Structure 1
Amino acid sequence: MKKILTLVLVSALGGILTLGAYKLLLEPEQKPIIASNHNTSTYLPTNHVKSIYNVEEKANFVAAAESTVNAVVHVKNVSVGSSQMSIQDLFFGRNPNPQYRLGTGSGVIVDPSGYIITNNHVIKNSKELSVTLNNNKTYEAEIIGADPETDIAVLKIETDEDLPVVNFGDSDQAQIGEWVLAVGNPFNLTSTVTAGIISAKSRDLTGSRSQSFIQTDAAVNPGNSGGALVNTNGELIGINTAISSQTGSYVGYSFAVPSNIARKIFMDILEYGNIQNGVLGVSILNKNSEEAKELGVNEIEGVYVSEVTRKSGAEKAGLKKGDIIKKLDHIEISKFEDLKGYLKTKRPKDVVNVKVLRDEEFLTIPVTISNIDIFSAEFMDMEFKDLSTDVKDKHNIPHGVRISKSNNKWLKNNLGITEGYIITKINDKKIESIQDISKLKEKYGDDYLENLKSLAFINRYGEKKEVIFK
């Protein structure tokens, strides 16, 4: 055993002596390589890549939070609904007792005199409305106006002092990947801040292509609705509105109305008392439709104009069917939601520079935004729109107007007439356009049922029918 250990030690000692002799006598001298400031390499020193690696500049959450939390409020809504009628109520002829429901949300002070922006669904059907500031002072609130389509509402509280505000930012300039803070009042707490990035823009949650949300991964929970989405400068770039969840709580994505849309709704309500909706005057081809596949425009970048509305600003400016809209002013247009979102920030008579691709040539055409009233008319608790020439030719319809919206329960329950039906005659008079509908509204007003003698229509299956009222 001793002989074996002695042999191992001798072998190890011999290896060390051999390696040392090589390093000392045979290996060439190696000088250390030192990075030089004059090196032509494309790698940059880390202190020059400020936008990525400088932590202090990257996300100053403290400053943004401090400038926001005191301008985000708690909104409490007491609404009244009817309880279900019991057998006893039915037997004794009693009306069911009203049920009081408490709803909560958030709001953002945007004017020091006490104007607050929140979501329409936060204050809907309110009987009593109160606002609690971050310093726990509570005030009664008045609804100044609301827009259900964009889910934006404006409140007012009366105070003797100027209130802290969140200044509007430009949501069009917000970029995917940019840091943002969601500030709200979830779970009836004082203002709470969460952080994330912008995940996407121009999101539509309904599939109706009527929305244009900013999507973020900042945690938003029940009670955050109506709160502020701000950038790292503390500027308001969105009003938190919805979450994507199967549980009702935050699981990864939240959605905000862009601040440019919210600001436009706010100014419309204050200046005009209602929403000033404008339209470009074009119909856009759905990329997933059979017609899009036939035309080979499914893969285009931009939106394809399938129809130009008569008497619209688009027609007067010279937009044509087949044009591909690539840009509105400075906004790149890749899908319909981009176009819809930007137009929601515009009013009638505003001018928008429309960049189109036509016959492999780019053109920039100034278009004056038209009032939506020239495209629709309301009568009999329904909204009507003109039929496009393509629809008339395709389905061999000589005249008529389409029902785009209907709140007329009587016609729906008794005749099945609802959205999508085409009205061709009223009281034996041909309906050529919505101008005819407007004339009937002027003639009959709200007393249309007393004067309705006949109604001819085409249902969703293309069947032509006529009803005579005695």
Structure 2
Amino acid sequence: MRLLRSTVARAVLLGASFALATPALSPEQSALARPAPDSFADLAAKLLPAVVNVSSSQTITAKNGGPGAGPEMPMFPPGSPFEQFFKDFLNRNRPGQGGNGGDNPPPPRRAQSLGSGFIVDSSGYVVTNNHVIEGADEVSVTLQDNTTLKADIVGRDESGDIALLKVKSDKPLPTVDFGDSSQSRVGDWVLAIGNPFGLGGTVTAGIVSARGRDIHQGQYDDFIQTDAAINRGNSGGPLFNMNGQVIGINTAIFSPSGGSIGIGFSIPSNMAKNTVAQLKQYGHARRGWLGVKIQQVTPDIAESLGLKDASGAMVAGITDGGPAEKAKIHSGDVILKFDGQDVKEMHNLPRIVADAVVGKDVPVVLWRDGKEMTVQTVLAERPADDQLASADATKPADATKPTAISGLGLKIAPVSQDLKDKFQLQDTQKGVVITDVSPNTPAAERGLKPGDVIMEVQQGEVTSPDDVRKQVDAARKADRKFVLMLIQREGGVQYVPLSLSKAPAGKDKQPG
């Protein structure tokens, strides 16, 4: 299956199901069960006027398509009567084929895409998906009564796929309100209204199929899944609860063919309404930023740190001058809670931090040195370039002969000018350099290789082979199954747990 996020957008349809036999429910089950609505007509009539069609257009020139590129097909809804007409027309007028003649470039032309949106303010603010209007130089909004209004782009959030538009009207416009998406439960009825395939206002229904879906479209993924079919043309349209509140923005589908199979995804309203407010006030999304690089806490890492469960987000790097550094959060800390919310796994943390208010003083619960501790940090706004600064460097130690670390399959040496030249290390490199790795050893199994640099062992900074040996020996004496090392290589820094159970101290075979 493939994930579709077409600039033509998508819609939501109902696949009805019927029970052939209804088993008897207990009194407790009966109290929880809710009957299906007799009709959605009254609710739909109330909501339809606030849902709009969004049309965006862009000028396409020969330069956009590259040298020798011919005209491209405008983005019509599949099945449109204009589709075949334009296909035949453009085939006759490609460079070197009739109309334009030889090497003459085709004239500029307009490409159009269609989507949906909804009005959240009677003065004319309209919410839609960013991918509906991305790259557009003209955007228009069509109301339910077929009135078409020119729209200005107030702000766009590419990473969250949300855009805010503004239209001018001589009268107040009908609106809908955001609801609390956290209160929506799996199995709740939902209603969707949008512009599937350019047909205009269309009402469909379904249920919430799942919550908190990560579909790998970005680090803030937290989608509501619905069995209401989302088709092309419905992107940016609202997903309503039975109180008529917007709990989601319909955005994407899984599909093997481009059509709906009942697996659609909506951006939760609790995420969207914060972004919309920021777009209205600042013109861009202001997300909280902690200034850390993180990695998943694996069972091996958890065991090496004395953590009961493999949960939380492990800090693998700190941005210079960022909120985490100011709060004295260290590399090797495991973030267990942020602002009162549990960090069950690494991927939870970016969403929680991003949703926090910039400038807010928040508590962060850490696991450090075998126990929990809490620090306070003041969140900054995430930088536009999303790049983390490199860690501060210290002077390297003097060069010495490589030292074997028993049981791990490593030979290591302090940083020297020769090793800097050999492995192309930075002049300010700190740590201990791996000079050799034996095959079929814990180090080899974890992918360590010559030129990698050991920065820490068991969360303690190391500057010499003796530091490494002492930390490894201490881990063995503590009956640890793994020893945790912070490794720096070309791709960045990462914590790597090495098994201590493969061979007893002093018994491993080292390279000659």
**What do residues 407-427 of structure 1 show as CA deviations (whole Å, max 9, x unaligned)?**
xxxxxxxxxxxxxxxxxxxxx
Q: Which residue of the other structure, out of 193, 214, 229, is the alignment partner of 1:203?
A: 214
Structure 1: how far apart are the matches of 2:352 and 2:224?
Answer: 13
1:305-384 alignment, distance < 5 Å = 305-359=315-369, 361-373=371-383
Structure 2: how far apart are the matches of 1:79 and 1:62?
Answer: 37
Classify the secondary structure of the residue corresponding to 1:344: helix
Structure 1: how far apart are the matches of 2:187 and 2:336?
Answer: 23
Structure 2: how far apart are the matches of 1:132 and 1:350?
Answer: 40
Asked if 1:69 is matched to 2:79, the reply is no
Asked if 1:255 is matched to 2:258, the reply is no
**What do residues 168-222 of structure 1 show as CA deviations (whole Å, max 9, x unaligned)?**
223344444444333322122313222121413051424x635333333321111
Classify the secondary structure of the residue corresponding to 1:263: helix
How far is 1:352 from its partner? 3.2
Structure 1: how far apart are the matches of 2:307 and 2:263?
Answer: 31
Structure 1: how far apart are the matches of 2:332 and 2:42?
Answer: 49
**What do residues 208-265 of structure 1 show as CA deviations (whole Å, max 9, x unaligned)?**
6353333333211111100112233222222111111121111232222222332222
Classify the secondary structure of the residue corresponding to 1:142: strand
**C-alpha RMSD over aligned residues:** 3.9
Structure 1: how far apart are the matches of 2:233 and 2:106?
Answer: 30
Structure 2: how far apart are the matches of 1:258 and 1:352?
Answer: 23
Q: Measured at CA, do residues 240 and 322 of structure 1 come closer, stay the same or move farther in structure 2, by a change above 3 Å?
A: same
Q: Measured at CA, do residues 241 and 318 of structure 1 come closer, stay the same or move farther in structure 2, by a change above 3 Å?
A: same
Q: Tell me if structure 1 keeps the 8 A contact 2:206–2:226.
A: no
Q: Tell me if structure 1 keeps the 8 A contact 2:291–2:388.
A: no
**What do residues 295-352 of structure 1 show as CA deviations (whole Å, max 9, x unaligned)?**
7989612222222333222232343333333333354432333222233323431233
2:57 is matched with which residue? Answer: 78
Structure 2: how far apart are the matches of 1:72 and 1:138?
Answer: 13
2:205 is matched with which residue? Answer: 194
Structure 1: how far apart are the matches of 2:162 and 2:237?
Answer: 11
Give 1:371's aligned amino acid.
E
Q: Measured at CA, do residues 358 and 181 of structure 1 come closer, stay the same or move farther in structure 2, by a change above 3 Å?
A: farther
Classify the secondary structure of the residue corresponding to 1:233: coil
2:426 is matched with which residue? Answer: 397
How far is 1:72 from its partner? 1.4
Farther off after superposition, 107-116 or 119-128: 119-128
2:34 is matched with which residue? Answer: 54
Give 2:111's aligned amino acid.
R
Residue identity (%): 34
Q: Which residue of the other structure, out of 110, 113, 116, is the alignment partner of 2:120?
A: 110
Q: Measured at CA, do residues 312 and 236 of structure 1 come closer, stay the same or move farther in structure 2, by a change above 3 Å?
A: same
1:433 is matched with which residue? Answer: none
1:144 is matched with which residue? Answer: 154
1:218-297 alignment, distance < 5 Å = 218-286=228-296
Structure 1: how far apart are the matches of 2:96 and 2:300?
Answer: 53
Structure 2: how far apart are the matches of 1:217 and 1:359?
Answer: 47
How far is 1:102 from its partner? 2.3
Structure 2 unmatched ranges of 5 or more: 1-23, 63-68, 71-94, 397-414, 416-422, 430-488, 493-512
In proportion to residue count, which structure has more helix? 1
Classify the secondary structure of the residue corresponding to 1:219: coil
2:480 is matched with which residue? Answer: none
Higher relative contact order (CA 8 A, sep 6+): 2
How far is 1:53 from its partner? 1.9
Structure 1: how far apart are the matches of 2:302 and 2:153?
Answer: 44
1:35 is matched with which residue? Answer: none
TM-score, structure 1 normalization: 0.64
How far is 1:92 from its partner? 6.7
Structure 1 unmatched ranges of 5 or more: 1-42, 378-382, 401-458, 463-470
**What do residues 49-84 of structure 1 show as CA deviations (whole Å, max 9, x unaligned)?**
56622326x999566545433221111122222352
Q: Tell me if structure 2 keeps the 8 A contact 1:186–1:192.
A: no
How far is 1:108 from its partner? 1.4
Classify the secondary structure of the residue corresponding to 2:278: helix
TM-score, structure 2 normalization: 0.59
How far is 1:99 from its partner? 3.0
Structure 2: how far apart are the matches of 1:175 and 1:307?
Answer: 37
Q: Measured at CA, do residues 95 and 228 of structure 1 come closer, stay the same or move farther in structure 2, by a change above 3 Å?
A: same
Classify the secondary structure of the residue corresponding to 1:336: coil
2:312 is matched with which residue? Answer: 302
Q: Tell me if structure 2 keeps the 8 A contact 1:285–1:292.
A: no
2:400 is matched with which residue? Answer: none
Structure 1: how far apart are the matches of 2:40 and 2:249?
Answer: 18
Q: Tell me if structure 2 keeps the 8 A contact 1:113–1:159.
A: yes
**What do residues 82-119 of structure 1 show as CA deviations (whole Å, max 9, x unaligned)?**
35252489987643222322211100111111100101
Structure 1: how far apart are the matches of 2:241 and 2:311?
Answer: 29
Structure 1: how far apart are the matches of 2:187 and 2:371?
Answer: 33
Q: Measured at CA, do residues 385 and 139 of structure 1 come closer, stay the same or move farther in structure 2, by a change above 3 Å?
A: same
Structure 1: how far apart are the matches of 2:177 and 2:49?
Answer: 13
Classify the secondary structure of the residue corresponding to 1:386: coil
Give 1:74's aligned amino acid.
N
Q: Measured at CA, do residues 271 and 399 of structure 1 come closer, stay the same or move farther in structure 2, by a change above 3 Å?
A: farther
Give 1:387's aligned amino acid.
S
Q: Measured at CA, do residues 54 and 289 of structure 1 come closer, stay the same or move farther in structure 2, by a change above 3 Å?
A: closer
